[in-house]
Chain A
Amino acid sequence: MNGPDDAGSRRTGPDAAGSAPGLTRRGFLRKGVAAAAGASAVGAALSPLREVDPEDLPTLERFLQRHYKEMTAAEKQAALDRIAREVEERYELRPRVADPPPLDGVEYVYALNITRCIGCRRCVHACVAENNQSRAPEIQYIRVLKMEKGSIDVETSDHHYDPELVPQHESYYMPVQCHQCANPPCVKVCPVEATWQEPDGITVIDYDWCIGCRYCEAACPYWARRFNFAEPAVPADELNTDMSYLSNRPRRKGVMEKCTYCLHRVRRGRMPACVEVCPTGSRKFGNVLDPESEVGYILRHKRVFVFKEDVGTLPRFFYYFDERGSRYHEPVEPVRPGEPA
């Protein structure tokens, strides 16, 4: 940082010389020295640009790439090929980069049983592994809150609980991730339409279009969006090579990312990684338009609520609790209303 300082202080030269009429030798020398000093100061100020990752430089191909929704089939294929090529160069692994389309007649909904959740955070880590999130600094889409029994106020929750064994007595656990709102504030605020809702209800981001203003992060009432403050780092041996354009392909620094309900899995009939890993079966996922689906049953029969109903986001993520047989309640005999139990 000495560079700009030193050189800058000599910049008085051109100004003084500029006022001198004609071109005297002294004036010429002073002008030359000052111009050189000024140029080296600017050079020193710009010097950190040498540290820019060459892969991060805007190439013509990237610059000309259009918004996801505007791409033709051929352009989309070219983009997928480019991503595969970049992954191969970087990780020396051959990925499968696809763009599975939304399925007709499908609207995905998530239901989470807060009576059963034991707060083991396996979902958090399965999600990181599945979706190629940066490991250092680690980006997690799911945040598990340890709640005080008798309160639904998140301000009294503990985000960083770390006991030897879970669950702990006198508390329950409430995992929060993207609620895939039907009225998403994040989509509304994006100035360049880099994020939108897909026909199957999943809100996605075009990582190649996001300008990184973080307005969506400020708008989200569920703190579900994450920003790549640094260049994401994923070890090659932990890379998930089953990738899709709108979900888990590697991101670059300076863009937003978020949970996509594992779009690359669910659109091919698999469950999201967090559902698959949950040891207690607290996580349920499915197509709400299918009357036979498990989530349909839960919404019809369980005690269901949505988080922050008052902000009007219409989440596609529901919490529910069991009436009986849970770890909090002994089985109860049915009683007539009005009679003492």
Chain B
Amino acid sequence: MRRYLTFLWQCARISFVGDWRYHAWMTLLTVVALLGVYAWCRQLAHGLVTTGMTDQVSWGLYIANFTYLVGLAAAAAMLVIPVYVYRNLHLHDVVIFGELLAVAVIIMCLLFVTVDLGRPDRVLHLFRRFNFPISMLTWDVIALNGYLLLNLHICGYLLYCAYCGRKPSAAFYVPFVFVAIVWAVSIHTVTAFLYVGLGGRPFWNSAIIAPRFLASAFAAGPAFIILTLQVVRRVTSHRVGDEALLTLRRIVQVAMIINVFLLVCEVFTEFYTDSAHLASARYLYFGLHGRNALVPWIWTALGFSLLATVLLVLPASRGLRVLNVACVLAIVGIWIEKGMGLIVPAFIPTPLGELVEYSPTLHEILVCLGIWAAGLLLYTIFVRISVPVLAGELTYEKVYRRRAEPDLNGPAAS
């Protein structure tokens, strides 16, 4: 127990230690996160009127980011499956970075849901009256928190074992890894069902949303991890092989092709049928009665996604530079398409046919940036801790033996 407390203390200590670049980066993130806190405090004082949301478009940027990030969190499974199911050795050394990313991202998801609440002071009502299993939101609460706990346990256990300098015992984490794989699929499916189950919103009321969620998550998530791993290998001593990145490239490649295919299926069904249910999709892609705020966004997203897919299919993307471009295009394209492109148009027009457009306010954007900064801050700390711990540079033995030594020598010298 005492040793565990020293582990926590060392983790806290080392997250403040680094060179000037590390400090500059952390300071920047802290400042942005505090700006987000400031904006959220204003929202607490004045209500959600500080956002661009209305009774017509009652969910906006918060829920859009939430949806996207659930996918990012689920993508950790795309590293875990090759390692634990197919015994892929290239990814073995980096799989924990995927799981740590899941932890940071799930925390961001929970923050995004919290800032969207009108009465965050009453969030404990969830414990006192929980509409399970009828409300899909309760399923999501369980899915997200369960996934957070699973990944916290897996990462925490592996890191603590490395800190103690002992070999992790498979029984304590491998079963959880396999549960987490299934759970990763479930968080995204449940989040899709949140929207799909609403008969009054024809734009969402489609069975293809859940598979599309998964496909885009398994493209955007590993693409994000490809970029992250390159940062890790540049700024830390952790070894990340090109083979690991190229294995991830194949995953993004396949997921992206499936994602684009499902998108084509959906667009065809909507537009060829040409029914009254089309209004939202028409608003999204072409604008409706002169209102077209989302049109440039969605076409940018489509362009990015298609370009990323083409790049990923071409052998040129075996080179890291092209691969990185493709990854950025995929991440941004999917962020627009799954965030603004999926959440907002479902509200336009309203069920009564009213056309009210939505654009986020500065406040809302600050809160979002703050949460992104907080998430990056967390993830940076996780990486900062795990690299030396996994490399065996920061262990209980080393820290406390060495500290004890001068004490022993000291009196002898005097």
Q: Which A residues contact B (CB, under 8 angstroms)?
A: 1, 4-5, 8-9, 11-12, 14-16, 18-19, 41-42, 44-53, 58, 66-67, 70, 137, 139, 143, 145, 153-157, 159, 176, 185, 188-194, 209-215, 217-223, 225-231, 253-256, 308, 311-313
Q: Provide 15 A-B residue pairs closer than 8 Å at the C-beta atoms, listed in order of the A residue.
A: A4-B34, A8-B27, A11-B27, A11-B31, A15-B16, A159-B353, A191-B131, A192-B126, A193-B131, A209-B129, A212-B118, A213-B137, A214-B58, A219-B198, A222-B200
Interface residue total, chain B, C-beta cutoff 8 A: 68
Which residues of chain B are within 8 angstroms of A53 by Cβ–Cβ distance?
Answer: 45
Question: Do residues B119 and A67 form an inter-chain contact, with CB atoms below 8 A?
Answer: no
Residue of A9, A213, A222 ringed by the most chain B CB atoms within 10 A? A213
With A11-B30, A217-B58 already in contact, the answer to whether A188 and B134 are too (CB < 8 A) is yes
Question: Do residues B23 and A12 form an inter-chain contact, with CB atoms below 8 A?
Answer: yes
Q: Which B residues contact A (CB, under 8 angstroms)?
A: 13, 16-18, 20, 22-24, 26-27, 30-31, 34-35, 37-38, 41-42, 44-49, 51, 53-56, 58-59, 113, 116-123, 125-126, 128-131, 134-138, 141, 194, 197-201, 276, 279, 346-347, 349-354
Question: Do residues A221 and B200 form an inter-chain contact, with CB atoms below 8 A?
Answer: yes
With A47-B38, A191-B141, A192-B126 already in contact, the answer to whether A253 and B47 are too (CB < 8 A) is yes
Question: Do residues A153 and B276 form an inter-chain contact, with CB atoms below 8 A?
Answer: yes
Question: Do residues A155 and B38 form an inter-chain contact, with CB atoms below 8 A?
Answer: no
Question: Do residues B125 and A192 form an inter-chain contact, with CB atoms below 8 A?
Answer: yes
In the complex, what distance in Å separates the CA atom of A312 from the CA atom of B129? 27
CB distance from B236 to the nearest CB of A (A): 17
Question: Do residues B34 and A145 form an inter-chain contact, with CB atoms below 8 A?
Answer: no
Question: In the complex, what residue of chain B is closest to A155 when comparing beta carbons?
Answer: B353
From B30, B141, B346, B353, give the contact of A8 (CB < 8 A): B30
Question: Do residues B352 and A223 form an inter-chain contact, with CB atoms below 8 A?
Answer: yes
Question: Do residues B354 and A189 form an inter-chain contact, with CB atoms below 8 A?
Answer: no
Question: Do residues B122 and A222 form an inter-chain contact, with CB atoms below 8 A?
Answer: no
Residue of A16, A229, A256, A313 ringed by the most chain B CB atoms within 10 A? A229
Question: Do residues B59 and A218 form an inter-chain contact, with CB atoms below 8 A?
Answer: yes
Which residues of chain A are within 8 angstroms of B26 by Cβ–Cβ distance?
Answer: 15
CB distance from B407 to the nearest CB of A (A): 14
Which residues of chain A are within 8 angstroms of B134 by Cβ–Cβ distance?
Answer: 188
With A9-B31, A194-B125, A217-B55 already in contact, the answer to whether A44 and B38 are too (CB < 8 A) is yes
From A48, A139, A213, A312, give the contact of B118 (CB < 8 A): A213
In the complex, what distance in Å separates the CA atom of A120 from the CA atom of B194? 38
With A9-B27, A155-B279, A211-B118 already in contact, the answer to whether A190 and B135 are too (CB < 8 A) is yes
Which residues of chain B are within 8 angstroms of A153 by Cβ–Cβ distance?
Answer: 276, 353
CB distance from A182 to the nearest CB of B (A): 15
In the complex, what distance in Å separates the CA atom of A48 from the CA atom of B121? 16
Question: Do residues B46 and A209 form an inter-chain contact, with CB atoms below 8 A?
Answer: no
Question: In the complex, what residue of chain A is closest to B121 when comparing beta carbons?
Answer: A58
Which residues of chain B are within 8 angstroms of A193 by Cβ–Cβ distance?
Answer: 129, 131
